[in-house]
Structure 1
Amino acid sequence: MAKVYISDVIDAPLDKVWNFARDFNGHGDWHPIIEKSEIEGGKPSDQVGCVRAFSTSDGGFLRERLIAFSDKDHFFTYEILESPMPIENYVASFRCTQITEGDRTFVEWWAEFDVAPEDEAEIRQRVGRNTFAAGIRAIAERLD
């Protein structure tokens, strides 16, 4: 099983970061590689079980289901249902934690998934750098 873990600090208070990032469908508005995203069936984007379907700037199409969500603990977890990437059993989590000194927020985004050894390096780059790291930086830029 492959693992990817990215963390960073956003120079904004926890409530501000979480209120912005908690929208499971919001990535279509701020993530640089997401072209269009919608929640299937008109469900709320914080309802466990909702599915977001989205397209990426490189022509990909993905569907992901929200499998855990907590405003109290500032995290959500989701799984990929459909993806052009050669992966299986993909589960990812996004979490925000208050940094007590300086009123900043520690943001973590990680995933575990099965991938063939010959594809692992490329997929780890796509998920880690191109998706998670780029997404955290995009949130930070939007909140400046």
Structure 2
Amino acid sequence: MVIYMSRAYVSSILDAPVSRVWSVLGDFHSLARWVAMIATSEPEGGEGIGSVRRVTLVDGRVVGERLVAYDGPHRSYAYEFDDAQAPFPVGSYRGTVHVLPVTDSERTFVEWYGDFDCEADAVDLLRETFTGIYSEFIADLRKHLSTPS
């Protein structure tokens, strides 16, 4: 068995100021408010580093994600799967969200990526799966930000 490290990466520009984007995306436990595929996102163990968001998908599957790093001033955080049985066939996984201002406009650069290891024959499928999920999340975020508050 060959284990392979890989990264799935998505980035985009959102037509909203970085403070507005981060006010939504930076709330680790609020996914259910703006991600269509998520029915609920419940915090366990507090709100900060080490806390878990227990996410229930609309199809009923439940995924635990533990916050492992949070940098508010630099607008980024990282999380790992919390459960002993990860929802994907990976040995390890670390997702990262990061937003930056586009300095010549009131727009925001957002990147969402995951570093993971898996068997070599699963790399392409997992990279495609994670890239699709991040793209869907960013599209949902874009839609949420375009809706009047």
- Separation in structure 2 between the aligned mates of residue 96 and residue 87 of structure 1, nearest angstrom: 26
Provide the secondary structure at the position in 1 that maps to 2:91: strand
After superposition, where does 1:22-101 map in structure 2 within 5 Å?
A: 22-41=26-45, 43-44=46-47, 47-82=48-83, 83-101=86-104
1:18 is matched with 22
2:112 is matched with 109
The RMSD of aligned alpha carbons is 1.3
TM-score normalised to structure 2 length: 0.88
Q: CA deviation at 1:17?
A: 0.4
1:137 is matched with 139
- Separation in structure 1 between the aligned mates of residue 15 and residue 144 of structure 2, nearest angstrom: 11
Q: CA deviation at 1:4?
A: 0.6
Provide the secondary structure at the position in 2 that maps to 1:87: coil
Q: CA deviation at 1:140?
A: 1.1
TM-score normalised to structure 1 length: 0.90
- Separation in structure 1 between the aligned mates of residue 90 and residue 61 of structure 2, nearest angstrom: 14
Gaps of 5+ in 1: none
Identity %, equivalent residues:
30
Q: 1:113 is matched by which residue type in structure 2? A: F
Q: CA deviation at 1:35?
A: 2.0
2:13 is matched with 9
Displaced runs of 4+ in structure 1, greater than 3 A? none
1:47-96 Cα shifts (integer Å, max 9, x gaps): 11111111223443211110111110000111112232111210111000
Gaps of 5+ in 2: none
Change (3 A) 1:2 1:49: same
Structure showing greater Rg: 2
Q: CA deviation at 1:117?
A: 2.4
